[in-house]
Amino acid sequence: MSQALAPLPAKITALSLTTIAADVESCAGWLESWMPSDPVPTEHLADLPALLERAALVARPASFEAFAMLMDRFIRWAERHNLAKLPPVGNDKREDEIADIVADYHATLNDLPADILDAALRATMAGHGYRNLPMPGDIRKHATEGLAQRVKLLRRLETAALVAGRQRPHHDRRADPETGKAMFAMVKQALAQAVADAPKVERRSDDDREGSTPETRRAALDALKGRSFPVPPCMRSAPPAEAQPQAAE
């Protein structure tokens, strides 16, 4: 029997993200023995959209505002232990220097969810034994495993959702607009990534379309070769009817 998911809280915090992540991992335990070549068990079909929504939520990077709030505690800890030399409170340069520190750390840690970043900062502060400010790499080593687990679970649930979409009856898929929207969004993201991965070439002077040249268009098409993308249910048409033999005159 499928385990029931807890409802999402009204306000998402670092603590609630950890709780949601544990709930998703528990309810998606069946994925450990599931293979993409197999159909999704019927008892788990109804929970897939909610599981996918929550898995995406807990894998989402922290907003800059949440990142800055967590870094504020880290900077105050560093200043208290003389690991960071900052102008005194009231000095006009103090806020600028703090903003520079936050921006430097955000540049390399901006993929971390808020609760994973929070736990990594706490672990760094608890275990740092040197008289210098911990580097971003010192923080990331406490976050790598947790982030990898969440991304892996999200990818597995995305695969299960695609398999589930294919195994539903044809008329059910066409009657489910939300599934069609989710499939279309996945295809759009994959196409955008393929175009982004295409090699950059210089623009030809004889092509008057901004940012578009024969080379860039050809490179984008080459990047898409060999990739297969699911057709959104809402775009699928019924199979053509078999031709009826004509009566002999």
User: Per-residue confidence of the chain (249 residues) as pLDDT tens digits?
Assistant: 457 899 999 899 898 999 999 999 999 999 999 999 999 999 999 999 999 999 999 999 999 999 999 999 999 999 999 999 899 988 989 999 999 999 999 999 999 999 999 999 999 999 998 889 999 999 999 999 999 999 999 999 999 999 998 886 644 445 456 656 665 666 566 556 555 655 554 444 444 445 556 666 666 666 655 554 454 444 444 555 454 455 544
> In this predicted model, what pLDDT tens digit does every residue of 184-219 receive, in sequence order?
666 566 556 555 655 554 444 444 445 556 666 666
d(CA 185, CA 177): 12
Alpha helices in 81-233 (DSSP H): 92-109, 114-127, 136-140, 144-167, 170-174, 177-197, 214-224
d(CA 41, CA 38): 9
Nearest to 26 by CA among 57, 47, 49: 47
Neighbour count for residue 9 (Cβ, 10 Å): 12
Nearest to 155 by CA among 17, 52, 12: 52
Distances (CA, A) of 247 to 8, 113, 244: 64, 68, 9
Interior CA angle at 232 toward 231 and 235, to 5°?
90
Q: Cβ(206)–Cβ(212) under 8 Å?
A: no
Place of tokens 């998703």: 24
Q: What's the pTM value of the predicted model, to 2 decimals?
A: 0.67
Place of tokens 């390399």: 108
On the 0-12 / 13-18 / 19+ scale of CB atoms within 10 A, 191 is middle
Q: Cβ(216)–Cβ(154) under 8 Å?
A: no
Nearest to 203 by CA among 213, 195, 194: 213
- In 74-206, beta strands by DSSP E: none
